[in-house]
């Protein structure tokens, strides 16, 4: 149809729509359909629907079961790792307490009063003032020894 005439003519009286159409040859399909009983086709459709529904149910249950097994397996793995972590933490605590005990024992062994006691037991004593020898050094880089010799100290 020509759409231009709608803009020029009245839309209320389009008689071309009611005109008989030209006869076109109707193509016939070469497919011959055999008559089937409706009950057989309905039964087949029902069987297919039941089979597909049962297959879906089986697949869904397999998926759920696999997800549950995976979840259980992962929880077991997590529990094993957590137990290893707890074992290592307890070992760390034990080693830290041993370290503290050893530090306390080391402090006890090397304390100043214990050193003094050990030195007194082997016959050592504190130095007196008369045992100390002082050396006087003047501005020069020389020193006088006990024998009276003068020794020059090189400047660096």
* Model confidence at 3: pLDDT above 70: no
Q: What are phi and psi of 143, to 5 degrees?
A: -135, 150
- The DSSP-derived string for 122-155 is TT--PPPGGG-------SSSEEE-TTS-EEEPPP
Structure confidence by residue, pLDDT tens digits, 8-35: 555 556 667 677 777 666 666 777 776 6
Using an 8 Å Cβ cutoff, are 95 and 103 in contact?
no
Among residues 116, 138, 134, the alpha carbon closest in space to that of 125 is found at: 116
- Distance in angstroms (rounded) separating the CA atoms of residues 45 and 39: 10
Mean pLDDT of the chain: 81
Whether pTM > 0.85 for this model: the answer is no
Give 139's pLDDT tier (boundaries 50, 70, 90): low
Q: What pLDDT is stored for residue 31 in this prediction? A: 75
């Amino acid at each position: 149809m020509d759409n231009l005439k709608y803009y020029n003519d009245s839309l209320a009286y389009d008689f071309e729509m009611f005109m008989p159409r030209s006869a076109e040859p109707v193509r016939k399909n070469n497919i011959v359909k055999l008559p089937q009983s409706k009950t057989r086709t309905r039964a087949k459709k029902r069987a297919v629907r039941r089979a597909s529904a049962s297959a879906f149910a089986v697949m869904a249950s397999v998926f759920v079961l696999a997800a549950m097994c995976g979840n259980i397996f992962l929880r077991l793995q997590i529990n094993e790792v957590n137990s290893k972590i707890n074992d290592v933490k307890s070992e760390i605590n034990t080693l830290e307490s041993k370290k503290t005990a050893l530090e306390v024992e080391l402090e006890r062994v090397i304390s100043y009063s214990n050193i003094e006691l050990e030195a007194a037991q082997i016959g050592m004593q504190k130095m007196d003032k008369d045992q100390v020898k002082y050396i006087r050094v003047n501005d020069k880089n020389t020193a006088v020894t006990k024998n009276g010799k003068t020794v020059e100290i090189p400047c660096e």
